[in-house]
């Protein structure tokens, strides 16, 4: 039977890929997005009869939009650790309180299933072990803390009529129509292609769990299509694979293998304290999830996009934190320039 899926942040890095996957599975899609990065990432879906777009905010949207919705996928948020520090209160209001609101109104409107895009960054500064879903959380950023708070507040909403699942994504990589060059694999590939050089902080010893954007989408689909909701209700799952835990220096060398003339520059210190490896056995054992893409796949597809020009290397919106700062500065400039509400 046709399912109606409601995706917050559906025009973003993951969401713009997810729309296509939902359509391939014959779902009707409602996209709620603030459209910070414009309509270009979802341009090909704007006139699709099974996709409905609403430019709105998770904090304020009319809950009536959820009428008849079967599944809510909550991707919306200030995306990544540095960006979350630009306006801490906005991060709390959107990433934490916004997600809690989405979950509550979903339950109120009779939605059967709610899936939150959480993050493995909640493990933060880890130890030498593979961290599973029960491991100690040691967040080092507001972004990670907001995800923890959201999970803690939303989990008690789960009951026999409302299934709640948290997907803790690893560090995502790969091509998307809403490209991001503030994720480690993507950033290194872009810098190697553009400058022939990669700066590696902290000696490159830090660990990151990696996962391709299409594998992330597959994980959400797998949760959506689970018949026995009792095995996922109130549960968190790390999304990735054990064999894609890499140290930063290893990632840099994979990029160098694809772009041989790349120079690697190592620096001993790094203000970013994130350093963790995660265990993804649970999602494999419970749901049968397996990743299909490798880091090399991601590097090659981004490199091909840069070479061919369908990825705009100079688009300022590709670096989230810089683009947010640009928007705030532009807003301030417009306020100062406008006269009687107009520029001219």
**Residue-wise pLDDT tens digits, 270-305:** 777 889 999 999 999 999 999 999 999 999 999 999
pLDDT of residue 217: 98
pLDDT of residue 79: 82
Pair of tokens at residue 110: 């009779």
Pair of tokens at residue 43: 């341009």
CATH number of 4-269+278-323: 3.40.50.720
Instruction: For residue 120, give the H/E element and its range.
Output: none
CB 172 within 8 A of CB 213: yes
**Alpha-helix runs per DSSP H in 62-159:** 81-84, 88-91, 99-108, 142-154
Can you tell me which residue has the tokens 């009792």? 230
Order of strands across the sheet that contains 207-212: 171-173, 207-212, 245-247
Q: Which of 251, 130, 125, 129 is nearest to 198 (CA)?
A: 251
pLDDT of residue 2: 66
Pair of tokens at residue 153: 């507040």
Q: Which of 89, 73, 101, 84 is nearest to 163 (CA)?
A: 73
Residue 279 CB coordination number (10 Å): 19
pLDDT of residue 338: 87
Please list the ranges in the chain whose pLDDT falls under 70.
1-2, 81
The reported pTM is 0.94
CB 165 within 8 A of CB 116: yes
CB 179 within 8 A of CB 124: no
Compute the distance between CA of residue 22 and CA of residue 288 in angstroms, rounded to an integer: 20
pLDDT of residue 334: 87
**Alpha-helix runs per DSSP H in 6-87:** 15-24, 81-84
Compute the distance between CA of residue 5 and CA of residue 66 in angstroms, rounded to an integer: 9
DSSP state of 162: B
**Alpha-helix runs per DSSP H in 25-136:** 81-84, 88-91, 99-108
pLDDT of residue 43: 96
pLDDT of residue 273: 82
Residue 226 CB coordination number (10 Å): 17
CB 50 within 8 A of CB 25: no
170: left (phi over 0), alpha (psi -120 to 50) or beta: beta
Compute the distance between CA of residue 292 and CA of residue 218 in angstroms, rounded to an integer: 9
């Amino acid at each position: 039977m046709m399912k109606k899926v409601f995706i917050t942040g559906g025009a973003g890095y993951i969401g713009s890929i997810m729309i296509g996957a939902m359509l391939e599975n014959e779902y009707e899609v409602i996209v709620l997005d603030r459209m910070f990065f414009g309509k270009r990432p979802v341009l090909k879906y704007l006139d699709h009869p099974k996709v409905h777009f609403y430019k709105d905010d998770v904090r304020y949207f009319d809950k009536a939009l959820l009428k008849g919705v079967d599944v809510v996928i909550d991707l919306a948020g200030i995306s990544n650790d540095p960006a979350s520090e630009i306006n801490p209160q906005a991060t709390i209001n959107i990433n934490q309180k916004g997600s809690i609101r989405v979950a509550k109104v979903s339950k109120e409107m009779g939605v059967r299933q709610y899936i939150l895009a959480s993050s493995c960054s909640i493990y933060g500064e880890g130890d030498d072990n593979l961290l599973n879903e029960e491991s100690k959380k040691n967040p080092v950023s507001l972004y990670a803390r907001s995800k923890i708070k959201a999970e803690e507040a939303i989990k008690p909403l789960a009951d026999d009529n409302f299934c709640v699942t948290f997907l803790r994504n690893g560090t995502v990589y790969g091509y998307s129509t809403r490209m991001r060059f503030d994720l480690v694999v993507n950033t290194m590939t872009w810098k190697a292609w553009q400058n022939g050089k990669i700066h590696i902080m902290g000696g490159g010893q830090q660990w990151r769990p990696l996962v391709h954007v299409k594998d992330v989408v597959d994980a959400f689909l797998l949760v959506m299509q689970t018949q026995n909701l009792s095995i996922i209700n109130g549960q968190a799952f790390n999304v990735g694979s054990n064999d894609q835990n890499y140290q930063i220096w290893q990632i840099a060398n994979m990029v160098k293998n694809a772009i041989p003339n790349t120079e690697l520059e190592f620096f001993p210190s790094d203000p970013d304290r994130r350093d963790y490896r995660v265990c993804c056995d649970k999602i494999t054992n419970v749901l049968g999830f397996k990743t299909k893409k490798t880091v090399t796949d991601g590097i090659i597809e981004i490199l091909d996009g840069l070479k061919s020009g369908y990825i705009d290397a100079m688009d300022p919106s590709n670096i989230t934190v810089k683009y947010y700062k640009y928007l705030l500065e532009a807003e301030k400039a417009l306020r100062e320039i406008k006269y009687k509400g107009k520029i001219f």
